[in-house]
A and B are shown apart, each in its own frame.
Chain A
Amino acid sequence: MSATARALPNIRPQAAEQEDPREHLMLDPKPRGEMNGMVLESMRSTGWRYWLVTLVLGFLVLTCFFYAWYYLIANGLGVAGVNRPAYWAVFLVNTVFWIGISHAGTFISAILRVMKIEGRRPFTRAAELMTTFGLVQAVSSVFMHLGRVWLAYWLIPYPNERGLWPDFHSPLMWDFLAINTYLLCSTMYLFLPLIPDLAMVRDHKTGWQKVAYRILSLGFRGTEGEWKNLHTAMNIFAFAIIPVMFSVHTIVSWDFAMAMRPGWSSSVFGPYFVIGALHSGMAAVAIVLFLVRSTMKNMKYFIRPEHFNLLGKLMLMVSMAWAYFYFNDYLVPWYGGDKWEQILRLFIEKGPIWWLWYVLLICNIVVPWLILWNRKWRSTPWLLALTGVVINIGMWIERYVIIPETLTINRMPFTWRIYIPRVEIFLTIGTVSLFLLLYMMASRLIPLIPVWEVQEGQEAHMLRKVGKAEIPAVSEIG
């Protein structure tokens, strides 16, 4: 052994350290026609597993979503565990949870587009779809909680029979405006980059399917003017939807924080809720990407470990930020020593369902921090998806602690009563099933991979020789 090698005992051969550039999607291009074919095949070819899962989900949606809702309507809110003082129950837990899930979809797509993070390209649409389908569940949960859902139009801000307009001072009114703005804008934001891919599908279909995709693609050809207009509109959306996203969950948090209740009245609730939404939403993106990659044909080419690595890093950062805000929200009331805050804290930490609090801390902090620091682990699709499942369980429990548990303890002890969910359990399963079913149906109807964005990225990437090494480089074409 030479003296140099002895002095550097941990040195490894250079060749072993160099990774194959073709591991990166952007440096492993395929002809556009071939990529189109792969995406179209993934929409067309489904195995028995797909239909089995669809059947199970369909059954769950019919029983746990539609039948359970019908049962609730037919018998009234009495069949739910809703009581005084836990009025909002699991219905609002689900609403906040699904709004949170919906956040990351658009946020990931928009922020990565604004920052020009190249790794975003293959999975932006899969993430954006979550927003629309997540918001459907959030809105359904509000309607379920109404009980008399046929009077839902009372929520719309229009003058009543006495000619009085709704009170725009109310946080619930801000909610109506913010959630609807977000739903509408997210759906438009989903549709914009979809237009060229719908045109691509149109060019490859025949018969009635061609007619359907012709209508949906609006007559898009890909002229210079059309691309310029599309690019400008997408840029406007990417920049504008980020503050809207922040506003939506901040306003959702104000539904709680504006009430002078122990556990809720906190100035940190806005950013804490936003981070919480991103925490659960990003975890959900990991789950969805894993499912898409493992159940759909050809997806292993488009969605690679590098994308899970990127997502894992984001999840770790968000988990740390969430822990920071949680600690902030915990420390200040604890230090303040308000009597009701102390009683509430004792109830959460040592009450009859004390274990929920520990589970939420383990799921949201311990598990992600243990797993996501390691590049190899976070790049492993199933492990990242599993971490995503754990985080989402933790975040659902966090909302449960914030809503029904906190509602239980108020300043009137004679009203305290433990909340036990009943039909809400089925409705929760129903919303999860409907979300997944809608996603599976969408995977057959629209290309989940934005092929034109992938090709655009591949055109911009190259390997540049620096000394002895070949370094991936990207040029800004657009």
Chain B
Amino acid sequence: MPESITLLALFEDIDPAANGIQKLRSMGVTDDQMNVISGIPMPGRVLGRPNAITNVSRIALVGAGLGMLSGVALIYGTIYLYPLYVGGQPLYPVPMGWIVTFEMTMLGLMVFAFLGLFVDSGFPSYTPKDYVPEISDGKIAVLFKCDSNQERPVVDALTKLGAESVKPAEARQL
């Protein structure tokens, strides 16, 4: 059985990158064997790729729920533990409860959205990774796996479609 290798193809522009991805697919490289690395967000439909899946909104929603619960606990729980009668107001003033509950819900939502980005993207991560610095200067990299015996035809095909370089991916310290 041939060995699997990871290659990194570097493109100058979006169109050749999209064509390259299509070509790779026709040569048997599946979507989950590919990843695109770019200096600006490239939605799946631009490059003919399936949309990436994110869990950030789900995590944020959990945060909003927890935030809401802590808001309710602060406004009603503390008073339940230590009843304070203030200025003839009810012990459980609903309108005032909304304010604290709202702030805590939004805090939970945003803190968890932020943490969700970390969790889902694996941040922070300082281990060596497949990357070339030219990406932040606007190049588009297609990182893909293929059988070693396919390397030559794949390199030729992508070069013909406008790839600047197609090389074995090299994990490096970012």
Contacts and interface: CB of A to CB of B under 8 A. Distances in A.
Interface of A: 31-33, 36, 157, 159, 163-165, 167-169, 173-174, 177-178, 181, 184-185, 188-189, 192, 196, 199-200, 202-204, 214-215, 217-233, 236-237, 240-241, 243-244, 247, 251, 452, 455-456, 459, 477-478
A219 B129 contact: yes
A224 to B, nearest CB: 4
B130 to A, nearest CB: 8
Given A477-B43, A477-B46, A219 B123 contact: yes
A42 B104 CA distance: 40
Interface in B23-72: 35-44, 46, 49, 51-54, 56-57, 60
A229 to B, nearest CB: 5
Contacts of A240: 106, 109-110, 113
Given A169-B86, A222-B37, 11 more contacts: A181-B104, A184-B107, A196-B136, A199-B174, A200-B136, A219-B129, A221-B129, A228-B51, A228-B52, A229-B120, A455-B39
Contacts of B75: 168
A352 to B, nearest CB: 35
A79 B82 CA distance: 39
Contacts of B123: 218-220
B41 A456 contact: yes
Contact of B37 (A189, A221, A251): A221
Interface residues of B, number: 64
A158 to B, nearest CB: 10
Contacts of A167: 84, 86
**Closest 7 interchain pairs by CB?**
A32-B138, A165-B78, A219-B125, A33-B137, A228-B52, A203-B133, A227-B41
B121 interface: yes
Interface of B: 14, 35-44, 46, 49, 51-54, 56-57, 60, 74-75, 78-79, 81-82, 84, 86-87, 89, 93, 96, 99-100, 102-104, 106-107, 109-111, 113-114, 116-118, 120-127, 129, 131, 133, 135-138, 173-174
A459 B47 CA distance: 14
B107 A229 contact: no
A225 B121 contact: yes
Given A200-B39, A452-B40, A456-B41, A230 B117 contact: yes
